[in-house]
Structure formats: structure tokens, C-alpha cells
Amino acid sequence: MDNTLAETLTGWRRHLHENPELSLHEANTSAFVQEKLTELGVPFVANIGGHGIVATLSRGQSNRSVGLRADMDALPITETTGLPYASKTPGVMHACGHDGHTVSLLGAAAMLRDDPSWTGTVHFVFQPAEEGAGGARSMLADGLLRRFPMERIFGYHNWPGLEAGTVAVHPGPVMAAGCRLEFVITGTSGHAALPHLTRDPIVAAGHLIVALQTIVARNVDPIESAVISLGIIEGGGASNQIPGQVRIKGTARNYNRATQAVIDDGIRRVARGVAEMMGVEIDVVLQYGVGPTINHAAEAELAATAAEMAGLKVRRDLPPAMTGEDFGWMLEACPGAYVWIGNGPGGNGRDLHNDAYDYNDAILPAASGFLASVAKKALG
């Protein structure tokens, strides 16, 4: 990538960082992407599955096709970086690097536009609402693969803690399925000095919290990986009253459908048991925002080869992460692979979903170069 394009992409990335938008609200981000695609001379179709965009380049007579995907949304986090281009939107920031993902895909489009060495069709998929709002499934439901046929699809996530510009490739699971858990425990309120006249949802909550931790420890195959974590407990308003209701929220993560079924069954079974034991009602809500992100073996190898062809260092020794990514839905519908590209040192506020995080502009040439290279390799 020449310096002029790298500097242009950096400016675009910082503009998006300064103007973040939450899932389902990416109207201005989408308009910005459409404006830059128009400047690049790359045709596109907008408003797919919400604010999604698919741009397309075709060359020659080949009927081969490939998709490249980037996400566009930000997070409800207040930025503390103090950067000149820090978020101007209170309580919203690009704390996961989707600004960099979006711009690196624009960079790949610019590189492929000017590269005469390939033939076929490349679809550039700019996805909204990745952060738990179902953007991938919305685009699929709106006919993404039917309207824009592609034999394979590829994407990446920047990865703090991995050497800048290094590409990590996993042969199977990359990220986990993510399930949002909610338990509403309803008992009978009353005076704290007269507990025999109540049905105490707080004590029931204590038993439920402990019992849920036995599901992974005593039901999931020890060879598999899974986690159940509870992050919110709400209940009570007076120290001398037993409340009528307690609400608990959390998440469950795993790498495959069989483990997911074991966890789902265990959660419901434990909730029924605690409810019966404590004489309360427990309503359970399990909502899967993302499925497991699992690479197809052939496409993972293709991605590794493409990264090497782009002059990038490749690592295959990193374990998958329990973080979630709704690109997994696309990989269930179409062969493909998802890689990590190093963002440089982590820690000290430089990790994902941290209020001091910032995407490393220095990796834009590597990210765009990888995306362009994997498209050419996939087209054969």
C-alpha cells in the first residue's frame, strides 16, 4: 500500500472514531461509507438488513466470487483516551475497533480496484449491529447470499496483545457462542424479622448462583471449554424487608452446539430445582446473540497462505477466545474463515471494550493487504 492511501485511510478511520454510532443507529456511518465508495468508483447497494452495505467489483469472465466482511457499530462506553479524535458522542465509542475494520475494507476495495491481476467478483460486506443486535442474521435474512452470491467469505478482528500486523489463524473455533442469561426470581415479600411469612428470593438467588457454577464443572466434558458468568444482581430496596423479586443477568459461552445444549438444559434444570426447593418462581430467558465462530478448514488454510503472500507473519498457536462475534452466523451459511490481526501491545487500557482502547492505524496497510490478498487467493 502506498503512503497516500495509508494516510487517507488513517484520516477516514479517525473520522469514524470521532463519530461513533451504536448498533441499529449507524445511519451516518453508512452514509460515510457510501460516500467513500462513490469516491472510489465502487458500485454498491445500501440498506441491506438495516444500515448494511454491499459493494461489488467484478473483472473478466470468471464466475468465481468471494465476500469480505467488516462491522461498523460502536459500543455504549464513555471514552477516556483524551485523543484529538476522541468520540464526540457522549457515552458512545469505538472500543472494539470496528472503525478500523470498516476503513480497512474500504482500503481493500481501493487496492483491488487498482490491481489488474485478478478476475471474478468480490463483494465487500459492511455489516451493522454486530454488538449483540443481530446484524449478521439481519443481512442474511435480507438475502445477502442470494442477492450477492459468494463461494466463500472472510473477515478479521484486530487483536490487542498480538504483534502489530501479525495474522493469527485458527483451524476450527475462533470465538464462542454467546448467550445472554436472565433469571427473574419471584417470591413473597415481607418483614425481614418475620421470614416465615415470606418466600425469600434473595436466599433463592444465592442457591441459584452457586448451583449454576456446577453445570460447567460437572456436566460439560472437561475436554470442552465453556463458562457461565453472572454480572448483574438486582433486588431489594430496604434493609429490613425481604423483597418480592430478584433479577440476575449474565452470559454463557461455549464453542459447539453439543456443549450449548448441555448448558441450556442444565440452566433450566437447576432453575427448576432451586424454585421447587425454595418455594419461589424462577423465569429463565436464554437469548443467543451470536453463535460460535468456527473456521472451515480449507478456508483457514487459504487465509494463512494469503497472509503469507501479502508478506505478513502468520501464527497458528493461539487458542480461541471466549469472546463472541456474529460473523459466526455467516460462517454457518457460507464457507469461510475469520482471522485475528495483531493490534500491538495490550494492557494499560489498550484491550478490547476498554474505555481507553484505540485501533492502531499502523496496521491498516496489513489489514487491507490481507483482505485484498485473501480475495485474490480465493478467486484462484
Give the helix ranges, DSSP H, for the chain: 3-18, 27-40, 98-113, 135-141, 144-147, 201-219, 257-278, 297-309, 327-333, 364-379
Percent of the chain past pLDDT 90, that is, above it, reads 94
Instruction: Tell me which residue has cell 418483614.
Output: 191
| pLDDT band (50, 70, 90) for residue 133 | confident
Give the helix ranges, DSSP H, for 114-200: 135-141, 144-147
**pLDDT at position 48:** 98
Arch. (CATH architecture) of 3-172+295-379: 3-Layer(aba) Sandwich (3.40)
**pLDDT at position 132:** 82
3-state secondary structure of 353: coil
Average pLDDT over residues 107-125: 97
- Nearest in space to 98 (alpha carbons), one of 14, 157, 56: 157
Mean pLDDT of the chain: 96
Query: pLDDT, tens digit, for every residue of 194-242?
Result: 999 999 999 999 999 999 999 999 999 999 999 999 999 999 999 999 9
Q: Domain locations in the chain?
A: 3-172+295-379, 176-287
Average pLDDT over residues 58-77: 96
**pLDDT at position 126:** 98
Query: pLDDT, tens digit, for every residue of 25-52?
Result: 999 999 999 999 999 999 999 999 999 9
Average pLDDT over residues 71-76: 98
Tell me: pLDDT of 349 over 90: no
Average pLDDT over residues 128-155: 96
Percent of the chain past pLDDT 70, that is, above it, reads 100
Higher-pLDDT residue of 61 and 158 is 158
Instruction: Tell me which residue has cell 453439543.
Output: 258
Tell me: pLDDT of 152 over 90: yes
Instruction: Tell me which residue has cell 500486523.
Output: 165
**pLDDT at position 84:** 97
**pLDDT at position 49:** 97
Q: Which three cell numbers stand for residue 372?
A: 485484498
Residue 365, CA atoms < 13 Å, CB-side half-sphere? 11
**pLDDT at position 178:** 87
Average pLDDT over residues 147-158: 98
**pLDDT at position 347:** 86
Average pLDDT over residues 242-259: 95
Q: Which three cell numbers stand for residue 259?
A: 456443549
Tell me: pLDDT of 317 over 90: yes
Tell me: pLDDT of 257 over 90: no
Is-contact 157 340, C-beta < 8 A?
yes
| pLDDT band (50, 70, 90) for residue 289 | confident
Name the amino acid, one letter, at 290: V
Tell me: pLDDT of 168 over 90: yes
Tell me the C-alpha distance between 331 and 295, whole Å: 7
- What Cα–Cα distance (Å) separates residue 32 from each residue in 26, 98, 100, 219? 10, 14, 14, 48
Average pLDDT over residues 89-106: 98
Q: Which three cell numbers stand for residue 288?
A: 443467543
Tell me the C-alpha distance between 3 and 207, whole Å: 60
Class of the domain covering 176-287: alpha beta
Q: Using alpha carbons only, what angle is made at residue 309 by residues 6 and 363, rounded to the nearest 5 degrees?
A: 30
Average pLDDT over residues 78-95: 97
Phi–psi pair at 243, nearest 5 degrees = -75, 170
Tell me the C-alpha distance between 292 and 190, whole Å: 44
**pLDDT at position 1:** 84
Tell me: pLDDT of 284 over 90: yes
- What Cα–Cα distance (Å) separates residue 236 from each residue in 73, 120, 201, 271, 275? 35, 62, 10, 20, 19
Q: Which three cell numbers stand for residue 25?
A: 443507529
Average pLDDT over residues 302-309: 98
